[in-house]
């Protein structure tokens, strides 16, 4: 048997959008197969068909040479296929442990599940409190929980094919290495891993083969010995290759946004942000970096935008906004959330999502013709791929949803707080986001809060390391030493 997974002639349409067009995709037994493509290329749609979430309009799926017709993910799991989604799909009101009850053929006691989960967390170095409800978790911790869930399903029922959708996002370098090591262990055991990613260098480092999708079609399949980074970039983006950009803005002396002695408690009354102070100048992009589960970024962000009470002072353009509501802070602060699907959009149309903020602030008398013209200009300027303004926002790809949020938030207010804005996005979209953050900085300032060192290094002027809720050290990005930054992130400075 040459292939463990065979998908032939797969097509899928959503309304007028052709997501997949006659796609052939094959996975060998015991290989790590990278599925590459820019946002909206069709990668996740193809894997959702393999996992039983979607039914193809046409085409055939075979597992171990046998044609299958999965009606749900449960059928796929029984056949030995499991998928870890890019954005965790968990029940927020349940605890981490309760969310780990696996899909399967028999009841498993929580005591056994917890023991297995704790062993996996220790092995991977995951910092998870399984007895807390998932709504208290940050996105990084929810991703960790999804990985733990996959490993439990593997231990209980055996996985032949593990589909990882952007598995290395939200994780620390140590945790990323553990994930890669687990992929390689699966390969050694004769199991297969499908690795959906936009990260071309990482894919070329760990994959045995790659398939490249562009606009719903296969444009390239490469063996490891044929990997060539620039060629794959051209396949993914139709000729686009990312380039290093030089900063073209001036950082002035005027302080636009200042935080003084900020202390914040979590929902259990524990102090998670401790006496944090920083000041951001006009024209500056200020980075705050912390490792997942170790920094306190989520609690800090909630305090800055007004979702959580805090002690201390927050000053925007000279005005004390500490006691302002989230809505009142919108006078000064725009916000890009970490989880764009959950907090960045709602279930309305692109038009409704795009103009929501202005509608709330615009009073009762609105020129809807002008609003529509403005939205059309934003769709064009931000290159949002959509059939029309009435298209449901939730049906857009991740990259287009992020472009929608950027169009709504960038340049409209003096300060922009961006929380991991580039997570899970392709190189072209990340480059576009960087340009828009630069544009915002020229009009005011940006606070970029992240788990990812690479996300902040390329664009920030200063970077502050956050460890256990404290800003332990601030660095000039032009003179930073990686060794010092890594020590600060684990509290060794």
Closest CA to 405 of 455, 339, 314, 474: 339
Are the C-beta atoms of residues 143 and 170 closer than 8 Å to each other? yes
* Residue 151, helix vs strand vs coil: helix
What string of DSSP letters covers 190-227?
T-EEEEEES-HHHHHHH-SEEEEEETTEEEEEEEGGG-
- Between CA 16 and CA 24, with CA 22 as vertex, the angle to 5 degrees is 140
Are the C-beta atoms of residues 21 and 37 closer than 8 Å to each other? no
Tokens of 28: 């060998």
Residue 26 is given by DSSP the state: E
Helix axes 110-124, 139-157, angle to 10 degrees: 120
Are the C-beta atoms of residues 302 and 296 closer than 8 Å to each other? no
| Cα 465 to Cα 133: distance, rounded to the nearest angstrom | 28
The residue written with tokens 């911790």 in the block is 141
What pLDDT sits at residue 337?
A: 93
Q: Which residues share a beta bridge with 68? A: 61
Length of the chain (residues): 493
Are the C-beta atoms of residues 286 and 450 closer than 8 Å to each other? no
Burial (0-12, 13-18, 19+ Cβ within 10 Å), 93: exposed
| Cα 92 to Cα 142: distance, rounded to the nearest angstrom | 10
Tokens of 185: 């262990």
Are the C-beta atoms of residues 276 and 300 closer than 8 Å to each other? yes
What pLDDT sits at residue 428?
A: 83
User: String of b and e for 31-50 (b: at least 16 CB within 10 Å)?
Assistant: bbbbbbbbbbbbbbbbbbbb
Helix axes 139-157, 173-188, angle to 10 degrees: 20
| Cα 308 to Cα 326: distance, rounded to the nearest angstrom | 9
| Cα 146 to Cα 379: distance, rounded to the nearest angstrom | 34
What pLDDT sits at residue 359?
A: 54
Beta-sheet strands, E only, within 282-391: 285-289, 311-316, 319-320, 333-336
Tokens of 305: 């935008």
Q: What is the pLDDT along the chain (493 residues), one digit of tens a residue?
A: 589 999 999 999 987 778 999 999 999 999 999 999 887 788 999 999 999 999 999 999 999 999 999 999 989 998 999 998 877 788 888 899 888 875 444 556 777 888 889 998 888 878 888 988 988 887 778 888 888 888 888 888 888 999 998 887 767 777 788 788 888 888 988 899 999 987 788 888 899 999 999 889 999 999 988 888 778 878 887 765 556 666 668 899 999 999 999 999 988 888 999 999 999 999 999 999 988 777 789 999 999 999 999 999 999 999 999 999 998 999 999 999 988 888 889 888 999 898 875 555 555 667 778 888 889 999 999 999 888 998 999 888 888 999 999 999 998 899 999 999 988 787 788 889 999 999 999 999 999 999 888 888 889 999 999 998 999 999 998 888 888 888 888 787 7
| Cα 121 to Cα 325: distance, rounded to the nearest angstrom | 38
What pLDDT sits at residue 244?
A: 60
Q: How far is CA 390 from CA 94, 385, 386, in A?
A: 35, 13, 9
- Between CA 487 and CA 264, with CA 445 as vertex, the angle to 5 degrees is 55
Closest CA to 339 of 26, 90, 67: 90
| Strand ranges of the sheet holding 311-316, from the earlier edge strand across to the other edge | 271-281, 255-265, 311-316, 319-320
Q: How many CB atoms within 10 Å of residue 140? A: 28
| Strand ranges of the sheet holding 192-197, from the earlier edge strand across to the other edge | 81-84, 161-165, 192-197, 32-36, 209-214, 217-223
| Cα 58 to Cα 50: distance, rounded to the nearest angstrom | 13
Closest CA to 178 of 204, 205, 147: 147
Backbone angles phi, psi at 221, to 5 degrees: -130, 125
N- to C-terminal Cα separation, the chain: 55
* Residue 55, helix vs strand vs coil: coil
| Cα 35 to Cα 260: distance, rounded to the nearest angstrom | 46
* Residue 487, helix vs strand vs coil: helix
Q: What is the pTM of this model?
A: 0.71
The residue written with tokens 């944090």 in the block is 276
Closest CA to 414 of 256, 255, 248: 256
């Amino acid at each position: 048997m040459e292939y463990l997974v065979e998908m032939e002639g797969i097509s899928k349409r959503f309304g007028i959008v052709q997501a997949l067009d006659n796609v052939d995709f094959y996975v060998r037994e015991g290989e790590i197969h990278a599925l590459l493509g820019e946002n909206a290329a069709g990668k996740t749609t193809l894997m959702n068909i393999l996992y039983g979430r979607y039914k193809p309009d046409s085409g055939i799926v075979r597992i171990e040479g046998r044609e299958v017709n999965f009606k749900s993910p449960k059928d796929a799991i029984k056949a030995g296929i499991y998928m870890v989604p890019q954005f965790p799909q968990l029940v927020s009101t349940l605890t981490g442990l309760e969310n780990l009850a696996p899909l399967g053929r028999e009841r498993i006691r929580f005591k056994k599940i917890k023991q297995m989960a704790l062993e996996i967390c220790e092995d991977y170095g995951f910092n998870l409190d399984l007895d807390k409800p998932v709504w208290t978790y940050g996105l990084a911790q929810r991703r960790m929980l999804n990985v733990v869930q996959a490993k439990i399903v593997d231990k209980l029922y055996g996985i032949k094919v593990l589909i990882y959708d952007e598995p290395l996002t939200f994780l620390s370098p140590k945790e990323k290495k553990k994930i890669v090591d687990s992929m390689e262990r699966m390969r050694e055991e004769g199991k297969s891993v499908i690795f959906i990613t936009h990260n071309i260098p990482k894919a070329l480092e760990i994959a045995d083969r790659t398939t490249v999708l562009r606009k719903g079609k296969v444009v390239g399949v490469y063996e490891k010995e044929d990997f060539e980074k620039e060629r794959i970039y051209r396949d993914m983006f139709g000729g686009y290759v990312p380039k290093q950009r030089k900063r073209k803005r001036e950082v002035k002396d005027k302080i636009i946004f200042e935080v003084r002695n900020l202390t914040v408690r979590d929902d259990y009354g524990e102090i998670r942000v401790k006496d944090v102070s920083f000041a951001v100048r006009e024209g500056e992009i200020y980075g705050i970096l912390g490792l997942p589960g170790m920094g306190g970024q989520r609690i800090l962000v909630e305090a800055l935008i007004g979702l959580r009470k805090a002690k201390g002072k927050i000053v925007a353009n000279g005005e004390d906004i500490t006691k302002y509501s989230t809505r009142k802070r919108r006078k000064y602060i725009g916000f890009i959330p970490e989880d764009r699907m959950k907090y960045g959009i709602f279930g309305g149309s692109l038009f409704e999502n795009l103009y929501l903020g202005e509608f709330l602030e615009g009073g009762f008398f609105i020129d809807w013709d002008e609003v529509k013209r403005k939205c059309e200009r934003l769709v064009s300027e931000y290159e949002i791929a959509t059939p029309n303004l009435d298209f449901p926002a939730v049906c857009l790809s991740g990259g287009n949803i992020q472009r929608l949020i950027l169009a709504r938030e960038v340049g409209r207010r003096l300060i922009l707080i961006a929380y991991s804005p580039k997570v899970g996005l392709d190189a072209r979209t990340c480059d576009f986001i960087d340009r828009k953050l630069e544009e915002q900085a020229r009009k005011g300032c940006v606070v970029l809060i992240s788990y990812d060192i690479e996300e902040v290094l390329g664009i920030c002027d200063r970077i502050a390391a956050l460890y256990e809720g404290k800003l332990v050290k601030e660095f000039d990005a032009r003179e930073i030493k990686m060794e010092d930054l890594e020590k600060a992130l684990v509290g060794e400075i």
